[in-house]
């Protein structure tokens, strides 16, 4: 199956034939003729700079015609494409700054406090268990060991993210872990925060008061309009969408009562884009707006958990996803043009790299990936995995990504585990055919678990990778928007790169 | 009875065979590609002539309908992929090694007290000096240079870095 986006047929090297040659003073350049850029060609360099040239300019470049003082030379020199005009020291510092995440270990620690779940979802990533399967609950002792392990990370900041199943099904242990972590962190002084990923179906006023009092950030899943959401997420004896919507409203109100800025403090929601969802790009965006969400993450369905079994019903050609993405984000941009502030997360991640020359350390889109060295997942029984995707693959019967156990493993041994070394090597862009010459390499990243699950190898083949197709399609779209030069659009895209820290959720590490 | 296509020759009974030009592909890539098929096929590599290698694949399950062309094509794509990855890894070796070392070192951090205590330093080995680090410069190089240096090198374990050459001394 061809999963890549079709590009315009523009073959400057073929056209130049024997006259083709590399200009001597040009740095390594990758080019991409975008589908909707009026024939212009995007150039990028390894430092992350980019520029558009016309097909005529590109044809001149491939013939080695790049004289000093010409407009083309000046345009390329201004963007660090001319070797003699760049400072090697400055560029080295830029790259080191963008790779600074390499100096630290995992900052995201996903704690699966139970596999039990009150909802049944068509794409369930987590391989859920029924509500009576209490043997899949994490014990308080295992929870303490998870915290002890997490605090050994070399990262100065750690986020403990509670997942499931439905984490609220094992709320007493979750509370115990929170209190134990806050107390233990007094000796470590790390920047500690907690996140709960919940369908909110088991939320109560008491639980909410505890979570708000203990500054736990709350995230949920919304698949779109009520009919779509309830079709994909079945809550026995209830309406999953109404329950989630009711609690989102209640939680957001609670934040306002605390005097928190509602534009920054509100429930975050995640979308899983199924085949059915592709029909409703605008309606999904509008559902998020109506729930008070300021951000939407248009994630395609993953091949993990139950999603693999139900792929025949919920999977789709990634070119259909590209159309969905473009329609949805165009709708979001038109809302922004009318003064409404809402952003798309995929776009924000890439734009931060493209426009701000920064790396926001999103673990699935960086090189090397955040598998193990950026994130760890702890199963209810204390098993440690290189990521939550690796844990899901374990639940499907494959222990490839299991790298330790909180009861017996030492932190440094886990970080030096042979699987971790392999994951790092497999997710460095410069080891990967296609990525090594890709125009989008400076901004992109590989997720080895996705390659393993969908292609049978952590190295994968990008030509057949649906994730590569998604990343390329989104970046094509964003660069086309930047190419228009439309002031309103470009201003909006720049605004999406602004990172506002939610400092309220950071726990105090001072002794009380 | 055999049947030929562009990609392979079917030998019947779930067996296919094809030849490749051994000068185009490194031997490691050939082994790597063959290894990928071990769960599905019995694999035989045979040298036909100086630069020709014959690959024979036989499906492990006799009742499974073997699509010989698909299998041969998959093998040939895998061989190309392994060869190209190897070339890319060689070209970018320095960068890959630097990033990997930085990533793993940054994540693991320096050894703690527990790690140091667990190191194999017994009473019989605590004062070993296989590289002659505790020796003075004169002991190591000036007086009885050849004997001292020889002792240090002889005592070094096989995977230790070689002792440095003595520095040039200007009177």
Q: Is residue B101 part of a domain?
A: no
What is the set of domains in chain A, with CATH numbers? 12-98 (no CATH), 103-414 (3.20.20.70)
Interface predicted TM-score (ipTM): 0.81
Same domain, B14 and B86: yes
Q: Is residue B66 part of a domain?
A: yes
Kind and range of the H or E run holding A162: strand A157-163
Same domain, B36 and B118: no
pLDDT, residue B143, reads 53
CB pairs under 8 A between A and B: 75
Same domain, B7 and B89: yes
Q: Residue range A491-496: average pLDDT?
A: 95
Same domain, B56 and B132: no
Cβ distance B100 to A425 less than 8 Å, yes or no, reads yes
Q: Which of A161-165, A294-298, B112-116 has the lowest mean pLDDT?
A: B112-116
Instruction: Extract the runs of DSSP E, i.e. beta strands, from B13-117.
Output: 15-21, 41-49, 52-59
Burial of A160 (0-12, 13-18, 19+ CB in 10 A): buried
pLDDT at B84 > cutoff 80: yes
Q: Residue range A8-14: average pLDDT?
A: 79
Q: Is residue B88 part of a domain?
A: yes
Same domain, B8 and B89: yes
Same domain, B89 and B117: no
Same domain, B54 and B8: yes
What band does B159 get if pLDDT is binned at 50, 70 and 90? Answer: very low
For residue B33, what are the domain limits? 3-93
Q: Is residue B160 part of a domain?
A: no
Instruction: From A280, A276, A279, A251, select the one nearest A265 (Cα to Cα).
Output: A251
Q: Which residue of B has its CA nearest to A372?
A: B107
Total domain count, chain B: 2
pLDDT, residue A122, reads 86
Q: Residue range A480-496: average pLDDT?
A: 95
pLDDT at B163 > cutoff 80: no
| Helices of type H across B109-144 | 113-118, 137
The pLDDT tens digits for A71-113 are 999 999 999 999 999 999 999 999 999 999 999 999 999 999 9
Q: Residue range A344-352: average pLDDT?
A: 96
Chain B residues touching A430 at Cβ < 8 A: 88, 92, 95-96, 99
Instruction: From A353, A267, A305, A265, select the one nearest A129 (Cα to Cα).
Output: A305
Which of B93, B127, B144 is a domain's end point?
Answer: B93
Structure tokens at A57: 């300019």
Min distance A188 CA to chain B CA atoms (Å): 15
Same domain, B29 and B59: yes
CATH number of the domain at B83, please: 3.30.70
The pLDDT tens digits for A243-259 are 999 999 999 999 999 99
Q: Which residue from B95, B108, B114 is facing A430, i.e. has the nearest CB? A: B95
Chain B residues touching A412 at Cβ < 8 A: 108-109, 111-112, 115
The pLDDT tens digits for A210-227 are 999 999 999 999 999 999
More confident call, A48 vs B10: A48
pLDDT at A286 > cutoff 90: yes
Cβ distance A459 to B85 less than 8 Å, yes or no, reads yes
Q: Is residue B137 part of a domain?
A: yes
* Coil, strand or helix at A296: strand
Same domain, B44 and B74: yes
- State phi, psi for A12 to the nearest 5 degrees: -60, -35
**Average of per-residue pLDDT values in chain A:** 92
Same domain, B83 and B14: yes
Which of B65, B93, B121 is a domain's end point?
Answer: B93
pLDDT, residue A3, reads 63
Chain A residues touching B81 at Cβ < 8 A: 433, 461
Cβ distance B106 to A106 less than 8 Å, yes or no, reads no
Q: Is residue B47 part of a domain?
A: yes
pLDDT at B150 > cutoff 50: no
Q: Is residue B41 part of a domain?
A: yes
Q: Which residue of B has its CA nearest to A410?
A: B115
The answer to whether B114 faces chain A, any CB pair under 8 Å, is yes
pLDDT, residue A227, reads 94
Same domain, B88 and B117: no
Cβ distance B107 to A410 less than 8 Å, yes or no, reads no
Q: Is residue B106 part of a domain?
A: no
pLDDT, residue B42, reads 93
pLDDT, residue B166, reads 38
Same domain, B19 and B65: yes
pLDDT, residue B152, reads 40
**Average of per-residue pLDDT values in chain B:** 76
Cβ distance B115 to A372 less than 8 Å, yes or no, reads no
Burial of A457 (0-12, 13-18, 19+ CB in 10 A): middle
Structure-token match 């964003």, residue found: A478
């Amino acid at each position: 199956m061809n999963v890549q986006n079709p590009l315009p047929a523009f073959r400057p090297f073929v056209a130049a034939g024997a006259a083709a040659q590399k200009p001597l003073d040009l740095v390594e350049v990758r080019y991409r003729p975008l589908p909707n850029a009026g024939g212009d060609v995007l150039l990028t360099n390894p430092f992350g700079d980019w520029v558009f040239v016309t097909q005529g300019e590109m044809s001149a470049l491939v013939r080695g015609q790049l004289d000093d003082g010409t407009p083309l030379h000046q345009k390329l020199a201004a963007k660090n494409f001319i070797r003699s005009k760049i400072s090697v020291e400055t560029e080295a510092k830029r790259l080191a700054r963008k790779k600074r995440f390499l100096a630290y270990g995992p900052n995201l620690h996903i704690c699966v406090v139970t596999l039990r779940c009150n909802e049944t979802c068509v794409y369930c990533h987590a391989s859920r268990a029924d509500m009576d399967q209490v043997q899949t609950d994490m014990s308080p002792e295992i929870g303490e060991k998870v915290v002890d392990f997490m605090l050994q990370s070399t990262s100065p900041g750690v986020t403990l993210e509670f997942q499931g199943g439905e984490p609220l099904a094992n709320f007493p242990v979750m509370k115990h872990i929170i209190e134990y972590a806050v107390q233990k962190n007094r000796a470590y002084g790390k920047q500690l925060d907690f996140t709960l990923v919940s369908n909110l179906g088991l939320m109560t006023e008491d639980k909410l008061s505890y979570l708000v009092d203990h500054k736990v950030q709350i995230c949920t899943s919304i698949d779109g309009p009520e009919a779509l959401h309830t079709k994909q997420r079945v809550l026995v004896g209830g309406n999953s969408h109404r329950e989630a919507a009711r609690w989102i409203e209640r939680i957001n109100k609670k934040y306002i009562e605390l005097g928190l800025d509602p534009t920054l403090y509100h429930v975050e929601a995640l979308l899983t884009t199924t085949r059915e969802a592709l029909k409703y790009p605008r309606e999904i965006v509008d559902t998020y707006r109506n729930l008070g969400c300021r951000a939407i993450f248009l994630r395609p369905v993953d091949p993990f958990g139950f999603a693999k079994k139900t792929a025949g019903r919920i999977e789709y050609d990634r070119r259909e996803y590209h159309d969905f993405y473009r329609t949805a984000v165009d709708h979001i941009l038109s809302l922004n043009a009318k003064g409404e502030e809402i952003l798309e997360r995929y776009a924000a991640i890439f734009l931060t790299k493209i426009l701000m020359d920064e790396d926001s350390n999103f673990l699935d889109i960086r090189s090397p990936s955040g598998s193990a060295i950026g994130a760890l997942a702890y199963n209810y029984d204390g098993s440690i995995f290189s990521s939550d995707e690796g844990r899901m693959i374990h639940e499907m019967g494959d222990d490839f990504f299991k790298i330790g156990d909180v009861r017996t493993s030492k932190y440094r041994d886990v970080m030096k585990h042979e699987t971790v070394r392999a994951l790092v090597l497999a997710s460095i862009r410069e080891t990967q055919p296609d990525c090594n010459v890709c125009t989008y390499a400076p901004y992109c990243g590989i997720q080895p678990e996705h390659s393993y699950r969908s292609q049978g190898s952590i190295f994968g083949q990008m030509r057949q990778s649906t994730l590569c197709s998604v990343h390329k399609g989104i970046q094509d779209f964003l660069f086309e928007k930047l190419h228009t030069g439309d002031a309103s659009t470009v201003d909006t895209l720049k605004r999406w790169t602004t990172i506002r820290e939610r400092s309220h959720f950071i726990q105090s590490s001072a002794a009380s | 009875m055999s049947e030929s296509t562009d990609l392979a020759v079917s030998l019947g009974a779930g067996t296919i065979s094809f030849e490749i030009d051994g000068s185009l592909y490194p031997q490691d890539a050939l082994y790597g590609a063959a290894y990928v098929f071990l769960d599905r096929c019995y694999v035989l590599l045979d040298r036909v002539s100086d630069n020709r290698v014959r690959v024979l694949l036989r499906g492990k399950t006799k009742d499974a309908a073997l699509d010989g062309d698909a299998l041969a094509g998959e093998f040939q794509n895998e061989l190309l992929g392994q060869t190209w990855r190897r070339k890319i890894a060689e070209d970018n070796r320095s960068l890959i090694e630097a990033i990997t070392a930085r990533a793993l070192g940054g994540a693991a951090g320096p050894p703690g007290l527990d790690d140091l205590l667990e190191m194999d330093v017994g009473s019989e080995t605590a004062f070993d000096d296989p590289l002659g680090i505790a020796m003075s410069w004169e002991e190591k190089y000036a007086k009885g240079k050849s004997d001292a240096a020889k002792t240090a090198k002889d005592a070094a374990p096989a995977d230790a870095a070689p002792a440095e050459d003595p520095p040039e001394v200007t009177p």
